[in-house]
């Protein structure tokens, strides 16, 4: 029987040394599986609530013993005997049990831990890999990764305001070859930085975090590294950026507090992105180039640039089907970032992905800046079949674990495996020409 028999939670540490939850689900037949919950730093305001103890005597208040208590108490009582193969039913029950619109009572960390552990145990019980168990149709598309090789903003102690500078190996014939070219470029970037006398220590997502002369210099350095590694910028490897603009939006203006202290109006920041796209045609994707609170700015940038490049909404959509649906109606962005813990259940996450597909939006499956060795998002990216993942640099074990899992999936799929490669990128390039 695939009945849920037991839920256990453990307070573990994430990649920043902060507490998070590992949840283990056991079925009546003894099959067992564990999922570990990630945690963000540059969070959207409307994300589901991450429940923290607030007891300053433990982990500065960041403990998750209350969430652990809910998993092993209330939630376990409510789902014991439930069919683990009914993910939708389970997730609905979890949401109802919580009873708030933002999972604020039991915590999205407690709820996601359970939802994801059950997805794993159900897959295992059915003898399926997670990527095949999550969806009904065959899943064989390996995503093109975006590797965040230069970290700034809230993820690094540097003078760069923008959070993520990613390289994406669109020209490779397979996921493994793409990962190789990206890793080689990561090493070339280290050499480029060293030669210029810049630091090569890394930020939260494994990208380098040097003190630089401007917010633009990362692009120049990355272009140099791509070439140094023997690849062609714009053909083999393209650039994706996530400035995470909500983090530097203050009182209606974009304030570059870490670099030159300048302020930009919404019109000016759109002009800045436009000038970058002109100067660097290698950039094909811009995530959170506008702050979550700047609704008009989002509409304006979508009108102006939505036909040219991928505009990904992260902080504004928070993987929430209701919020995303309104955003689509409002003509905001043309892609969504997908983070399981922003919403807190597997079902709602899959709903967002489906909504993106139905509306011609892209979907980028994503890690959080605080991660564990959990690799669920690698499987989710293949299950989603949307062709994109971002899960950090070619550095730090918790990032590499996801890329390594994708290598395993690629091997397992054998001749059935397809690599998304440039397919998404080509779509936008065509739009530019039209
Ligand atoms: P976070 O950042 O995990 O710190 O929220 C990731 C992102 O903004 O994409
Ligand atoms: Zn983001």
Residues 20 and 159 in one domain: no
Question: Are 51 and 108 within one domain?
Answer: yes
CA dihedral 192, 195, 197, 198 (to 10 degrees): 10
115 & 158 share domain: no
Query: Pocket of ligand 1, candidates 14, 37, 48, 163: which has the most ligand atoms within 8 Å of its Cβ, to mutate?
Result: 163
Confidence of residue 177 (pLDDT cuts 50, 70, 90): very high
- Provide the token pair at 432: 């530019």
Q: How far is the CA of 388 from the centre of ligand 2 (A)?
A: 14
Strand partners, 142: 419
- pLDDT of 117 reads 99
Residue 109 burial class via C-beta count within 10 angstroms: exposed 0-12, middle 13-18, buried 19 and up: buried
Quick check: 434 pLDDT over 60?
Answer: no
Binned at pLDDT 50, 70 and 90, residue 432 comes out as: low
The whole-number pLDDT of residue 427 equals 74
- What digits encode the pLDDT tens for the residues 284-313? 999 999 999 999 999 999 999 999 999 999
CATH of the domain at 317: 3.20.20.120
- Specify whether 147 is located in the same domain as 110: no
Q: What is the mean pLDDT of residues 68-89?
A: 98
Closest ligand to C-alpha of residue 242 is: 2
Pocket of ligand 1 (CB under 6 A): 40-43, 242, 244, 314, 337, 366, 368-369
Whether residue 322 is found in the same domain as residue 212: yes
Q: What percentage of the chain carries pLDDT values higher than 90?
A: 97
Which of 366, 392, 399 most suits a substitution to test ligand 1, by most atoms within 8 Å of the C-beta? 366
Q: Is residue 428 scored above 90 in pLDDT?
A: no
pTM of the prediction? Answer: 0.98
CA atoms within 13 A on the CB side of 140: 9
Q: Are residues 426 and 377 in the same domain?
A: yes
Query: Which run of H or E residues covers position 26?
Result: strand 19-27
Mean pLDDT of 225-244: 98
205 is catalytic: yes
| Centre of ligand 1 from the C-alpha of residue 42, in Å | 5
pLDDT at 276 over 90: yes
- Position 425 scores a pLDDT of 77
Within 8 A by CB and 6+ apart from 270, the residues are 289, 290, 297, 300, 301, 304, 305
- Whether the per-residue pLDDT at 193 is higher than 70: the answer is yes
Of the residues 205, 282, 398, 410, only one is catalytic, namely: 205
Q: Per the structure, how many domains does the chain have?
A: 2
- Clarify whether residues 145 and 105 are in a common domain: no
Are residues 353 and 245 part of one domain?
A: yes
Average pLDDT over residues 348-377: 98
Q: What's the CA gap between 316 and 339, in Å, rounded?
A: 12
Q: Find the domain containing 95 and state its range.
A: 4-127
pLDDT of residue 1: 74
Tell me the residue ranges of DSSP E strands in 126-226. 141-142, 144-151, 164-168
Question: Tell me, what's the pLDDT at 240?
Answer: 98
Task: Assess whether 271 and 388 both reside in one domain.
Answer: yes
**One domain for residues 14 and 115:** yes
In the three-class reduction of DSSP (H, G, I as helix; E, B as strand; rest coil), residue 411 is classed as helix
CATH number of the domain bearing residue 21: 3.30.390.10
Q: What is the mean pLDDT of the chain?
A: 97
**For residue range 111-162, what is the model confidence (pLDDT) as tens digits?**
999 999 999 999 999 999 999 999 999 999 999 999 999 999 999 999 999 9
d(CA 129, ligand 1 centre) in Å: 27
Is it the case that residue 429 has pLDDT exceeding 70? no
* 333 alpha carbon, closest ligand: 2
Atom of ligand 1 nearest to the CA of 288: 8
Classify residue 141 by burial, with Cβ atoms within 10 Å: 0-12, 13-18, 19+.
Answer: buried
Domain boundary residue, one of 97, 127, 157: 127
Ligand nearest to the CA of residue 153, numbered in listed order: 1
Question: With contact defined as beta carbons under 8 Å apart, do 175 and 142 qualify?
Answer: yes
Domain boundary among 102, 127, 152: 127
Contact 76, 36 (CB under 8 A): no
Residues 253, 152 within the same domain:
yes
Contact 66, 50 (CB under 8 A): no
Look up residue 331 and give its two tokens.
């003509």
Say if CB 70 and CB 107 are below 8 A apart: yes
């Amino acid at each position: 029987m695939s009945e849920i028999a037991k839920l256990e939670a453990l307070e573990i540490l994430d990649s920043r040394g902060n507490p998070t939850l590992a949840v283990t689900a056991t079925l009546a037949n003894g099959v067992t599986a564990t999922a570990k919950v990630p945690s963000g730093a540059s969070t959207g305001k409307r994300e589901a609530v991450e429940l923290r103890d607030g007891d300053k005597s433990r982990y500065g208040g960041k403990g998750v013993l209350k969430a652990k208590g809910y998993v092993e108490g209330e939630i376990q009582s409510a789902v014991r005997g439930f069919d683990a193969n009914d993910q939708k039913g389970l997730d609905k029950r979890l949401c109802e049990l919580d009873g708030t619109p933002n999972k604020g009572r039991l915590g999205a960390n407690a709820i996601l831990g359970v939802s994801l552990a059950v997805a794993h145990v159900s897959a295992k019980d059915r003898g399926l890999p997670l990527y095949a168990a999550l969806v009904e149709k065959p899943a064989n598309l390996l995503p093109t990764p975006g590797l965040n090789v230069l970290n700034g903003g809230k993820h690094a102690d540097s003078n760069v305001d923008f959070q993520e500078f990613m390289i994406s190996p669109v020209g490779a014939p397979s996921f493994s070859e793409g990962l190789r070219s990206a890793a080689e470029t990561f090493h070339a970037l280290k050499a480029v930085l060293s030669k210029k006398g810049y630091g090569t220590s890394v930020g939260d997502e494994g990208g380098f975090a040097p003190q630089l002369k401007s917010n633009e210099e990362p692009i120049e350095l990355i272009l140099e590294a791509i070439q140094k590694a023997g690849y062609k910028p714009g053909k083999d490897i393209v650039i994706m950026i996530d400035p995470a603009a909500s983090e530097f939006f203050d009182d209606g203006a974009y304030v570059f507090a870490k670099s030159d202290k300048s302020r930009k109006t919404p019109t000016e920041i759109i002009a800045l992105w436009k000038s970058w796209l002109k100067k660097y045609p290698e950039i094909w994707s811009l995530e959170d180039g506008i702050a979550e609170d700047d609704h008009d700015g989002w509409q304006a940038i979508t009108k102006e640039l939505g036909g040219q490049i991928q505009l990904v909404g992260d902080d504004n959509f928070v993987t929430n089907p209701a919020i995303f649906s309104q955003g689509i109606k409002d003509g905001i962005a043309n892609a969504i970032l997908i983070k399981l813990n922003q919403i807190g259940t597997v079902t709602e996450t899959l709903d967002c992905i489906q909504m993106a597909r139905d509306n011609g939006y892209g979907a980028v499956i994503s890690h959080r800046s605080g991660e564990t060795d959990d690799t669920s998002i690698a499987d989710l990216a293949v299950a989603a079949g949307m062709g994109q993942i971002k899960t950090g640099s070619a550095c730090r074990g918790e990032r590499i674990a996801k890329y390594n899992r994708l290598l395993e999936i690629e091997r397992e799929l054998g001749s059935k495996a397809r690599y998304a490669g440039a397919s998404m990128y080509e779509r936008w390039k065509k739009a530019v020409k039209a």
